[in-house]
Amino acid sequence: MIDRIGDDLKFHQLALGLRQQRQEVLAANIANADTPFYKARDFDFSAALQDAMGGSGSLRLPDTQLALTAARHIPGKAAGNETADLLYRQPLQPSLDGNTVDMDVERVQFADNTMRYQTDISVISARIKSLMSVLQQ
C-alpha cells in the first residue's frame, strides 16, 4: 500500500524538484544581470518533466562526493539524479556588453515559477490531507 501512495506522489515530487531547479537557474540569471557576456539560461519545464516521467521515472541531480581531509574520515558518495538540459535564452533586445539577461523577462519567469511552486505545494498538501483522512477512518 505504501508503494501505491509513493507512486501517487511521485509525479508531484518530480514536478517540485524541477520547479526548484528552475528557480535556481532563474535566480542565477537575475544575479548575473550586470555581468558582461553572461548568457541567460533556462529550460523547458514541460519537456524536462516528460523526460523525468518517461525515462527512468526519477529526476537526476549531479553526483556528490565528499573530500576526505583525514584518514579516519568515512568516505561519502551519493549518486544524484539527472538535471534538465539548460538552454540559452534568446535576447529580445541585445545589450552592448554581450549580456543576454532581460530583467523584465526574468522577473516574470521567476514570479510565475514561484506561483506554480506554491500551487504544487498546496496540491500535495491537500492530497496528503485527504490520504490521512482516509487512513484514519
**pLDDT tens, N- to C-terminus, the chain (137 residues):** 567 777 778 888 889 999 999 999 999 999 999 999 999 999 999 888 888 887 654 445 556 777 888 888 877 766 555 567 888 988 888 789 999 999 999 999 999 999 999 999 999 999 999 988 988 88
Please classify residue 84 by burial: count the beta carbons closer than 10 Å to its beta carbon, then call 0-12 exposed, 13-18 middle and 19+ buried: buried
Distance (Å) of CA 47 to CA 25, 68, 86, 118: 16, 38, 11, 21
Cell 539548460, residue?
A: 86
State if pTM tops 0.85.
Answer: no
DSSP 46: H
